[in-house]
Every structure is written in C-alpha cells, then in structure tokens.
Amino acid sequence: MNTAEQILLLLKTRGAQTAQALADVLHLSSMGVRRQLEAAEDKGLVAHVDRPGKVGRPVRLWQLTALGHARYPDRHAALTVELLGQVQALFGEAAIDRLIDAREAASEAAYRAAVDPAATLPQRAASLALLRDAEGYMAEAAPQADGSVLLVENHCPICAAARSCQNFCRSELDVFRRVLGPDVQVDRVEHQLAGARRCAYRIVPLAPAAA
C-alpha cells in the first residue's frame, strides 16, 4: 500500500485528522503528508476544514469526501438492492424477514463458534471484532477506562442493503447481544444510517444480581 492509500485508509478508520497527526502515524514529514493531501484534494477524495486552535491559530482537519468514502464500496451493492426488491415484489415482506432471520442464524452460529463465552469481556469483544473485520467492516474493539468496550466498525459492506431494509441493522445488534452474553449490555451509540461516520457499539458489563 503506497503512502497516498495509507493516508486515505487512516482518514477512513480514524475520521478527520491533521496533517501532523497523520505524519506521526506514518513516520513522515508533515510537509510530505500535506502534499499528498493536497493531491488527494485535487482529485476530490479529501477536503479540509479550519477550526480555531487553542492559541488562536486555526487547526486544519482533513477528512474524506463522499468520493473518498466511495473507494471503500458496499459489496455488490446495486445487485443486492435489486435482489431484495425482487424478493419483496415476488414473495412479499415476510420473505425479506425470513431472509434476514436466516442470515441472522448463520451469523450467530459462526460467531458463537469463535467467541468463548467464558472469556473476559475485552477478549470476547476482540474476537467479535476480528470476525467482523474479516467480513469487511474494518472493525476494532477498544477497551475503555470505565471497564466497558467500544466496538467500532469503520465501514459497512452491506450499507446499501441496510438502507433498503433497516431490519438488517436491528438483526446485527440482536446477534451481538446474544453472542456477547447476558452479563453485558450492548447499545449502538453511533450509526451510519443516522448520519454518523461509522457504527459503534458500547458494551458494558452488568453488575452481578444480588443474592
């Protein structure tokens, strides 16, 4: 992966960044990164916004444009939406629900086979993140200082299908809750379909029930 692609990937997975922050991660000069960003801006892949800094000097943040995000497309998005529409037209809404239920059952079985219910919460979340990352969600699990874990998905490879039928998102959340176990609470705190840059889930350990 060349430097230009690395920069775009960092903006995809980390959101808006300064040229200096990107340079620190890539171990490059800020000037070299800025030139790459300006070249990407000329292609319409990134844009910048200037915000007030702590000492009055504006801070320039770079972020992906819609064209930049499109470099990480849904898998077979148009075909998926077309097929969902045809299934609904031919067999009705109930057929879509059965399709989602079947996908949900298959996903849950695969996740349960890989996520050890006896493992710690961070370990369970990390295992789930690895599975989701392999499916194209650019997922990662980040333990928090309060004992919770933030499961982040920087990309949604089924976004077009989810926009067409939001029960896909409901289904995924239900699977996470069952696979991670009854001793945790899972809430979606960021949602791409609601306009967020990514989807994120806060996983909180529940206190043991009183004896």
Mean pLDDT of 68-91: 66
Same domain for 190 and 88, yes or no, is yes
How many domains does the chain divide into? Answer: 2
Q: Which pLDDT value is given to residue 74?
A: 62
Mean pLDDT of 79-83: 59
For 25, the domain range is: 3-69
Q: Which pLDDT value is given to residue 65?
A: 85
For residue 9, being part of any structural domain is answered with yes
Same domain for 127 and 201, yes or no, is yes
DSSP for 19-75 reads HHHHHHHHT--HHHHHHHHHHHHHTTSEEEEEE--TTS--EEEEEE-HHHHTTSPPT
pLDDT tens digits, one per residue of 104-147: 899 999 999 999 999 999 999 999 999 999 888 899 999 999 99
pLDDT tens digits, one per residue of 43-59: 988 998 888 777 767 88
Indicate which CATH number applies to the domain containing 94. Answer: 3.30.1380
For residue 183, being part of any structural domain is answered with yes
Indicate which CATH number applies to the domain containing 43. Answer: 1.10.10.10
Q: For residues 158 and 161, what is the distance between their CA atoms, to the nearest angstrom?
A: 5
pLDDT at 211 exceeding the cut of 60: no
Same domain for 83 and 65, yes or no, is no
For residue 47, being part of any structural domain is answered with yes
Same domain for 113 and 168, yes or no, is yes
Please work out, in degrees rounded to the nearest 5, the angle formed at the alpha carbon of residue 162 by the alpha carbons of 159 and 166. 150
The answer to whether 67 and 45 are in contact (CB under 8 A) is yes
Pair of tokens at residue 194: 């609601």
Same domain for 35 and 95, yes or no, is no
Same domain for 117 and 16, yes or no, is no
Q: For residues 114 and 135, what is the distance between their CA atoms, to the nearest angstrom?
A: 14
Q: For residues 39 and 59, what is the distance between their CA atoms, to the nearest angstrom?
A: 19
Domain boundary, last residue among 43, 69, 95: 69
pLDDT tens digits, one per residue of 13-43: 888 888 989 999 899 999 999 999 999 999 9
pTM: 0.71
Same domain for 104 and 193, yes or no, is yes
Same domain for 143 and 200, yes or no, is yes
The residue among 79 and 203 whose pLDDT is bigger is 203
pLDDT tens digits, one per residue of 172-201: 999 999 999 999 999 999 998 888 888 999
- Overall size of the chain counted in residues: 211
9 confidence band (pLDDT: 50, 70, 90):
confident
Same domain for 106 and 158, yes or no, is yes
Same domain for 62 and 86, yes or no, is no
For residue 192, being part of any structural domain is answered with yes
Same domain for 7 and 99, yes or no, is no
For residue 7, being part of any structural domain is answered with yes
